[in-house]
Amino acid sequence: MADYAQARRTMVDRQVRTADVTDLRILGAMLEVPREAYVPTPRRAMAYLDVDVPVDSTRALLKPMVFAKLLQAAAIGESDHVLDVGCASGYSAAVLARLSGSVIALEEDIALARAAGETLAQTGARNLSVVSGPLTAGWPKGAPYDVIVLEGATETAPAALLSQLKEGGRLVAVVGSGPLGKATVFSMTGGHATAQTLFDAAAPLLPGFAKTPAFVF
């Protein structure tokens, strides 16, 4: 039988700490949340590998190092209101719920959203709700947000999501597709979002976040 607790410690020690993630709250949350519970049974052996772990044909859990560094860049406070875009099976929302005051986990795949809600309830996650709707539209009913986290890549600055940030709010995402992506934090100041590139990163492209092809004569 797999020793998932040991695998979790190894993930944090060898993948997350070594990537200069020093926020003890993030390290603690990733040690507490049973990542394997959010991975389909046939893929549970992959739960703690240094890869994006597929949940289904279109969704994956972000590589632990990338996920942790994005959270550290978001500087999530204990009372912050967070929107988790593309929550897939709910792992990211479970971690975010341990760092913030409240989380809205958005997933447009209804079956995934239902499964995420069930797993989150079974694992005792609190201070969050799972909702279903188009990822690109965000969740205006819960806006404004202190932090928005994209659980995948976007090829463009997500304008609709940025408009749902509070003044001083942050949105973190991998911008760009394939191996040329850049982890980026967008900060809302004076009604305008400014982007800061953080580090090289790759992540699966979220549905609807591809760049619109340019028209060529």
Q: Give the whole-angstrom CA distance, residue 185 versus residue 166.
A: 14
Q: What is the residue extent of each domain of the chain?
A: 4-200
Tell me the pLDDT tens digit for each residue of 169-191: 999 999 998 888 999 999 999 99
**Superfamily holding 4-200:** Vaccinia Virus protein VP39 (3.40.50.150)
- DSSP state, residue 88: T
Q: Which two tokens stand for residue 34?
A: 């049973």
Which pTM value belongs to this model? 0.95
Give the confidence band of 216 by pLDDT, cuts at 50, 70, 90.
low
Which percentage of the chain shows pLDDT scores above 70? Answer: 97
Tell me the pLDDT tens digit for each residue of 36-85: 999 999 999 999 999 999 998 889 999 999 999 999 999 999 999 999 99
User: What interhelical angle do 4-11 and 24-32 show, nearest 10?
Assistant: 160
Q: Give the whole-angstrom CA distance, residue 4 versus residue 58.
A: 25
Q: Give the whole-angstrom CA distance, residue 204 versus residue 152.
A: 5
